[in-house]
Amino acid sequence: MTDRRSRNLTLLLALGLLLMTVPMQESIHQLRPHVFDPERKTRRASAINVGPMPAVIAALGGFRTVAADMLWLRVERDWHGGNWWALPSLLDGVTQLDPHFILAWQVYGWHLAYNLHAEAETKVDKRYYLDGGIRALEGAVDANPDNWEMIFELGWTLFDRAHDMHRAAEYFYRADQFPEAKSYTTRLYYRCFERTLDIPRLVEALEYAKNRHTDPYSPDDVQHQVIVSDNYRFWITDNHLEDRDKHREIIARENTARAQRSVDFYLYPDNPYWDVCPHCGLPSPEGSEFCSAYGHPMKPSSGSSRSPGESRPPAEATSI
């Protein structure tokens, strides 16, 4: 009985010490305005991935989920109070205390890769937050390998935010193997190869999608088959695989989206369909005298699709 009482007192003391850090955080905000001031021009919350110390987590024992819930309440307060730059360290603490708190992981990765990435005003800071969001979601997948939603969340962030299509395809395919995965996961798998004009893998992925979600009594499956059939007909039956104008359209759309997210332009290897503007890096039809996007004069092109200042050889078609 005495040993149990001593253990309970130790756990309560550890929990109390953790909770004492909550008011201390306010003082830190006041003493370090260069980190937490929402008006700062170049912002970076340097507390990402600190969280509670492993010794504190171990001492909390069975109270870890309780402590995670209490920290989550602090996250809610700071979120609604507009103190976005303090959230990464809190969310990191929540997910360390309770690594199976799926919503906390989702908010953690999304907040870094979307909210703080959008608010950051330099390319370096944008890259910092995007990489941080991806690392958070990778940690979530490692902690919850049997949760298809977390695998999909990582794939979607790689697809929509980082434009890392090769890795996104891997995670979409992995998530799609779960019986409970939604049909849009299958379609996003082939969209990755569509975005990179990886024609052989696009054809394979379309064939794969045709054989998925085939229940005629499921409205979601019926809709999936209609969408996939339309896409298959466009690319295969109507033979747009060799459509130069369609290729240019995809190239321009993809690299415009990358520019909006401060992500490097994609280097389509051995691409004969376009020339790269040496000023803005956007594609124009092959042989253009002026950039079709901004009217800049074009330099003579050797057919390479390198972006300005790029000295490396083009990457493989499935990598970004």
Is 207 in contact with 231 (CB distance < 8 Å)?
Answer: no
Q: In whole numbers, what is the pLDDT of the chain averaged over residues?
A: 79
Is 227 in contact with 234 (CB distance < 8 Å)?
Answer: no
- Report the 10 Å Cβ neighbour count for 215: 11
User: Within a 13 Å sphere around the CA of 132, how many CA atoms are in the beta-carbon half?
Assistant: 28
Helical H segments across 83-180, by residue range: 87-97, 102-110, 117-119, 123-143, 148-157, 165-176
pTM for this predicted structure: 0.72
36 φ, ψ (degrees, to nearest 5): -105, -5
* Count of helices and strands (H, E) across the chain: 14, 2
Q: What is the DSSP-derived secondary structure letter of residue 288? A: -
Confidence at residue 265, expressed as pLDDT on a 0 to 100 scale: 77
Say yes or no to pLDDT of 156 above 90.
yes
Instruction: Give the pLDDT mean for 135-160.
Output: 97
Confidence at residue 24, expressed as pLDDT on a 0 to 100 scale: 46
- Residue 198, both tokens: 């990886």
Alpha carbon 286 to its chain centroid, in Å, reads 33
Helical H segments across 177-276, by residue range: 183-195, 199-210, 219-232, 244-260
Instruction: Give the pLDDT mean for 268-295.
Output: 74
Residue whose tokens read 């402590």? 67
- Report the amino acid identity of residue 159: F
Q: Which residue has the higher pLDDT, 268 or 100?
A: 100
Tens digit of each residue's pLDDT (9 = 90 or more) over 226-279 = 999 999 999 999 989 888 888 878 888 888 888 888 888 776 665 656 777 778
Confidence at residue 50, expressed as pLDDT on a 0 to 100 scale: 45
CA distance 125 to 45: 10
With residues binned 3-state (H G I as helix, E B as strand, rest as coil), the percentages for the chain, rounded to 5, are 65, 0, 35
- Report the amino acid identity of residue 64: R
276 φ, ψ (degrees, to nearest 5): -95, 130
Q: Which residue has the higher pLDDT, 303 or 167?
A: 167
Tens digit of each residue's pLDDT (9 = 90 or more) over 109-132 = 999 999 999 999 898 999 999 999
Pick from 134, 78, 77, 68: nearest CA to 104:
68
